[in-house]
Structure 1
Amino acid sequence: MNWDSLPLLIILALSIIGNNHTVAVAALVLLLIPRLGLENYLPFIDKHGINIGIVILTIAVLSPVAQGHIAMNDMLAIFKSPVGFLAVVIGVFLAWVAGQGVIFMKESPETVSALIIGTVIGVCFFRGLPVGPLIAGGLVALLVNVLGLFKR
């Protein structure tokens, strides 16, 4: 057995137990890539995977606009209510936090597995919902910097 695969196998098992299909598929694909002789693609995935994923996610988020389900008037009306304004402010903050997560995960890639395992445990045992590792990484980066645990 290749012990290098053990972390991905653990993540796969936890994601199956936690019914987290996204993480399960990702772990399974990464386990299969070397076994299919495609390991030359791993550096490309490592370098560009987050950006490709963000593009796909952004396309999904913007698809209601492209379909005409959200008009310009609807977008402008959001600023007229306190809840809408708060949603915009929180959206800006979380986008910034996610950006910090990208930086932190590049500087400390060993934390990615811990973030995913923590997310899967939260889904399995605390009836949580999986939030993106970028936001989780950003929150970890903020706390680590505030507590002075990480030197940049």
Structure 2
Amino acid sequence: MNWENLPILIILCLSVIGNNHSVSIAALILLLIKLLGFHTWFPYIEDHGITIGITILTLAVLTPIAQGRISISGILEAFKTPIGLVAIFVGILVAWIAAQGVFFMKESPEAVTALVVGTIVGVCFFQGLAVGPLIAGGIVSLIISAIGLFKN
């Protein structure tokens, strides 16, 4: 066995132990791509995977609107309640923080490994979701910027 496969195997084992199907499937697919010799796929997945994943996630979020279960009046109602207004504000904030994470991860590749490890631990053992690296990267970017170690 090639020792460079060990990290993805460890992630696969941890995700199975942590009963996280998303990480298990992702790790297994990546391991199979590697073992089957489709190495040329990795740059495409790395360059476009986040966009594809966000698109699929957005499809899922917009489906109730497309099905008519959420109407224009329902959307407008969100602006009339305190919970709706807080949710809108938090949605805007988190989207902005995630965008900072994308920038930060491109500018600070050394932080990507730590963000990935933190996300894997959060997903496998704390019932988290794998959307964490972008938001975590954004939060790290904001903290680092606040203490003056990174220029946005």
Structures share fold, TM-score greater than 0.5: yes
1:87 corresponds in structure 2 to: 87
Superposed counterparts of 1:124-135, under 5 Å: 125=125, 127-130=126-129, 132=131, 133-135=133-135
Aligned residue pairs total 151
- TM-score by structure 1 length? 0.86
Deviates more, 1:85-94 or 1:115-124: 115-124
Structure 1: tracts of 5 or more residues without a match: none
TM-score, normalised by the number of residues in structure 2: 0.86
Q: For structure 1, which segment, 77-86 or 107-116, has the greater mean C-alpha deviation from structure 2 after superposition?
A: 107-116
The reply on whether 1:52 has 2:52 as its aligned counterpart is yes
Q: 1:62–1:33: structure 2 CA closer, same or farther, 3 Å change rule?
A: same
- Give the 5 Å matches for 1:11-90: 11-90=11-90
C-alpha separation between the residues in 2 aligned to 1:15 and 1:116?
13
Distance 1:117 1:4 in 2: 16
Shift of 1:58: 0.6
Q: 1:3: which partner in 2?
A: 3
Amino acid at match of 2:112: V
Report the CA distance between 1:151 and its aligned residue.
5.2
Give the alignment's Cα RMSD to 1 decimal. 2.0
Shift in CA distance, 110/11, structure 1 to aligned 2, threshold 3 Å:
farther
Select between 9-18 and 87-96 the one with higher mean Cα deviation: 9-18
Structure 2: runs of 5 or more not aligned:
none
CA contact (8 A) 1:20 1:130 kept: no
**Is residue 97 from structure 1 mapped to residue 97 from structure 2 by the alignment?**
yes
In structure 2, how many angstroms separate the alpha carbons of the residues matched to 1:10 and 1:114? 16
Task: Provide the C-alpha distance between the structure 1 equivalents of 2:122 and 2:43, rounded to a whole number of angstroms.
Answer: 30
AA partner of residue 137 (structure 1):
G
Deviates more, 1:114-123 or 1:92-101: 114-123
Following TM superposition, where does structure 1 have runs of at least 4 consecutive aligned residues deviating by more than 4 angstroms? none
Q: Secondary structure at the match of 2:40?
A: helix
Greater mean deviation of Cα atoms: 81-90 or 101-110: 101-110
Equivalent position of 2:117 in the other structure? 117
Taking the aligned partners of 2:11 and 2:147, their CA distance within structure 1 comes to 28
